[in-house]
């Protein structure tokens, strides 16, 4: 069977990564979490004090240091899922913090950051057999992907999911702060000048506000099987 490229885009905290990881596991494809890549750049910027006190970015310094930022994914033998590595260090837990969430959208909007990440993503996805999720996979990274899905859910549902996830991990969480963050990220992601978040013309729309994880996984699996038969 021909190996295809699968692009899953959508709003923050709508379950894209969960869907993509599970599909990749079931069909034996490579999974790339592009959101984790932008979060890793954000973590790097926070650690290296590249944010001013008012939240603006020291863009010249970050751009000069971009060649030093290398992001990879390694399979976690215990979870069966890939973990994110920043310059050889596993940062899977650190990049999911609310501090990173609050800073990632302006980092992801920088043209030089997107150019660097898209180059790394395209290298990872050469030859098909890849599931990639993010904000611009079907529109910019892989515009010719055989299967494109755009995922969404209400901001309130997404905030609750994010809150529950942080609670389960034993990390501090406040629902009101998370909802505000989700709404702000939606606006920034949809209005940035470079590669704004939008549904590709040939993408399938999935609103999973009222779906279980199992239901959305089965929906995606059926779309995959249909596309492979075409």
Distances 61 to 44, 50, 114, 194 between C-alpha atoms, Å: 12, 7, 16, 20
Q: Give residue 211's pLDDT band: very low, low, confident or very high (50, 70, 90).
A: very high
Task: Give yes or no for a contact between 149 and 8, defined as CB atoms under 8 angstroms apart.
Answer: yes
* Cβ 112 vs Cβ 53: under 8 Å: no
Q: How confident is the model at residue 1 (pLDDT cuts 50, 70, 90)?
A: low
pLDDT digits (tens, 9 = 90+) for 141-152: 999 999 999 999
The pTM of the full predicted model, rounded to 2 decimals, is: 0.74
Q: Who's near 141: CB < 8 A, 6+ residues apart?
A: 7, 34, 118, 121, 122, 125, 132, 134
CA-to-CA distance for 130 and 37, rounded, in angstroms?
16
In angstroms, the CA 18 to CA 3 distance is 21
- Residue 193 contacts by C-beta under 8 Å, 6 or more apart in sequence? 109, 111
- pLDDT score, position 192: 81
DSSP state of 167: H
């Amino acid at each position: 069977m021909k190996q295809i490229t699968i692009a899953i885009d959508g709003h923050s905290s709508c379950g894209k990564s969960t869907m993509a990881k599970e599909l990749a596991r079931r069909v034996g494809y490579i999974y790339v979490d592009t959101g984790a890549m932008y979060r890793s750049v954000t973590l790097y910027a926070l650690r290296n004090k590249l944010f001013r006190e008012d939240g603006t970015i020291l863009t010249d310094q970050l751009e000069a240091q971009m060649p030093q930022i290398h992001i990879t994914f390694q399979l976690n033998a215990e979870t069966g899922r890939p973990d994110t590595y920043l310059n050889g260090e596993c940062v899977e837990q650190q990049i999911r913090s609310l501090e990173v969430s609050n800073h990632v959208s302006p980092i992801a909007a920088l043209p030089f950051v997107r150019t660097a990440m898209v180059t790394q993503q395209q290298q990872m996805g050469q030859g098909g057999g890849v599931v990639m999720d993010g904000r611009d996979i079907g529109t910019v990274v892989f515009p010719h992907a055989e299967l494109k899905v755009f995922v969404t859910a209400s901001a309130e549902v997404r905030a609750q999911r994010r809150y529950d996830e942080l609670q389960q991990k034993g990390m501090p969480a406040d629902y009101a702060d998370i909802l505000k963050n989700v709404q702000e990220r939606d606006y920034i992601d949809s209005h940035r000048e470079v590669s704004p978040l939008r549904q590709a013309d040939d993408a399938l729309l999935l609103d999973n506000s009222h779906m279980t994880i199992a239901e959305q996984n089965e929906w995606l699996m059926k779309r995959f099987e249909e596309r492979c038969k075409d």
